[in-house]
Structure 1
Amino acid sequence: MKVAHFRLCHSRKPFVIAYPGEAQEMVLDAFVQALSFYGGVPRRVIIDNPKTMVTYVSRSKERIFHPRFLALMNHYVMEPVACTPAAGWEKGQVENQVQFLRGRLFVPEPAFDDLEALNAWLRLRCEDLAERPHPEQQDRTITEVFEDERAELRPLGRAFDGYVEKTVRVRSTCLVQYASNRYSVPSRFAGHHVSLRAYAGRIVVVSGQDVIAEHRRHFTRNISYFEPWHYVPLLDRKPGALRNGAPFVGWELPEAMHRIREHYMAGKGGDREFVDLLLLAQDHGIEVVETACNLAVAQNTLRLPAIINLINQLVEPVITPLSDACAYPQLTLRPEADCKRYETLCSAEEVAV
């Protein structure tokens, strides 16, 4: 684990957040999280010289900042100030904080189920540590001094979209690779070039202006992560892949759809029927198909034609009855039966002849 450290120079309020590494997208996310924690934007930031922030240091000490880091600084209108290499005293507050918080937060070593739980705990501990007396204003706590400092911070505004982007080609297996793992995209994009955006905790794949896939980011090695719905259109030609195909192994379907799948697979040709049901999601949406399956299970009508009928009922427009406000012709005189009128007509014909 790597821990990013932040500290406001006046109030000394700390903020730390943990990541699996020090990649560019994690550095960007750390700044976004820190500014959100402080609730405002300072006018400048003092940094070290890692490759994720500074790409080149000349002999005259001039810096060339990383384009994405510079985009972050420009977004929040902050001035980056890089320290002299190997001159730790220029950022002494953070150097001291690293040693101090290492003993306060990581001894004994904390244990959590996931990174989100660890970072939530670290955030609370930073708030607790801010209740200590301020090193220069002993009669006030760090939190109290921070309230004065926060008034000088500029408004936070819209958060920076901290991703690292690259163009990749979708494999014939409908997978794109980032770092050591592979992630699936919809089958229609196989062989196409798409934009892969890597965030600290997720992978987003974009084609043109549309987000076509999104996955939770994993830090394993040489593993493929599938979204089974991306491969459903391919089942139209190979329905047998539903049983043993890698994308569908361990597919966790909603309870009603799982029950219908088990019912179909028990019979001959059931995989074809269930594939036909899955393909309906392309036309009507996954939510509609799931709702129809729930209704079918509730009504104990698991046959495919019955489910298709339920889908049609869900997607057909509802015919509303005519409003009472419609105006119809109203009779002013009540009709009365009078046979003498017929006799009058007959006598009139005789006169005419």
Structure 2
Amino acid sequence: MANTLDPMDLKQIITLKLDGFSNRKIGATLGISRNTVNSYMKLFKASDYSFKELLSFDNVRLDALFPSLTTIDNERHDELMLYFEGVNKARNHPGFTFLYHYQEYAQHASQPYSYTQFMEHYRRKYAKVKGSMKLEHEAGNEMYIDYTGKKLHIVDKDTGELIPVEVFIAILPNSQYTYVEASQSQKREDLITSCGNALHFYGGVPKAIVSDNLKSAVTRASKYEPEINRSFKDFARHYNCVINPTRSYAPQDKALVENAVHLVYQRIYYPLREMTFFSLKDLNREIKRLLVTYNNLLFQRKEASRRELFQSIEREYLKPLPTSAYEIKDYKRAKVQKMGYVYFSPDKSYYSVPYRYIGKKTLIHYTKSVVEVYYNHVRIALHQRNPVKGTYTTNTEHLSSTHKGYTSWSPEYFKNKAAAHGANVVSCVEKILADSDYPETGYKRVMGLIMLHKSYSSQRLDNACKRALQADAASYKRIKKILENNLDQSSLFYQDLEEDKTHIPSHQNIRGAAAYK
């Protein structure tokens, strides 16, 4: 099945076009066909919107304007590439012809390419002069990132245990200006945090971030169309750049950052070898000090340092940083409940959505400060995140007319409603609310209690509440049982309670305490 470009990929194409990239270069940067880029450019220009306007559109609107076009058919292409491996081994055999091999390929392939395409793909795979490609790096164009293979360590103060930590490296290839920091892991959150720190270290943003095929960055690795994870794409969108993983089995793509790793071993790891650190903060403080020396060292042939080349050449080509730092987004699926809320499992709390989405399945996007609810890629609710567990966060505009009264619930509200049915009902309401761990739970119970008057009358409800209070059993379930079993109308027990008398009748054979002296 062919892959398709999603709206986030369309925004990456538009971003690179605004940065002055040619269609061919956009295709090479994003790892997609130049013809696909050309097709989309024609559609963009034929629309009634400028590139900047298209960039501001949400994903749904972009998807509606530009239905997905197919890119490389990976299965078909991979079948051809595997066949070429056998063809290339036979090149020097007497009598070899490409036509013979094409005819053999066409008989066995499920969807064979034409002979012209067969030869074009072969020439691309096996160029006449195949060697290590020297990459020319434009100033401000890319930032390469990777992790070192060897780890540093911090020491647990309590146990003395050595805790391994990862070391992240970023490099601007034109000036080779380098950033290094230690982090707890290579997980998505740590990777994105380290990338953000690197961009703020440089004071600007390149057009593309080139990563190795890290699991935290790439959901599905591919030589032609790797799939970037959603959070990393969102990070790139926030900083107005694109993510471009290095090609699999193409070591020349990452030669600079690999060389930087070896230099970091020599100029940072080695000076740290006899030092002990008890926290990441202390370790990064020392790395930062050594990094200054590293970037200030002169190149042997350029008679300038990494820092000088960055300041004099590369810095002016970087795009400005956004006004706010990126907050990592996570995602949870949730169904809208009957009350018009979605359950947010990380905090065990609830957030309102418009009532018309009751019963629909939604996707929650959340950061440390914000919770957004999406339905079919359209945002239907936005709330400030409340970290308190079990809370209900409500936007009154989301509620239907029957539910808006729900937002006015309070202890005073229920006491006023209970007062119409008797003083004992009010006392039971107060006790139930006082005994509830969370107000919302108590509100539902007392609402159920008050509604019992419809089935049993206010007088009986008040009597049942009085009996429950006497027995220290003030709860919705127990009061309901009293009414169902007509215990509120049991005259003997009830009258004795009224008169504060014992229910045992007076009798001459009953002896009192005096008989036992």
Larger-gyration structure (1/2): 2
Higher percent of residues as helix: 2
Higher-RCO chain (CA-CA 8 Å, sequence separation at least 6): 1
What is the TM-score when the length of structure 2 is the normalising length?
0.34
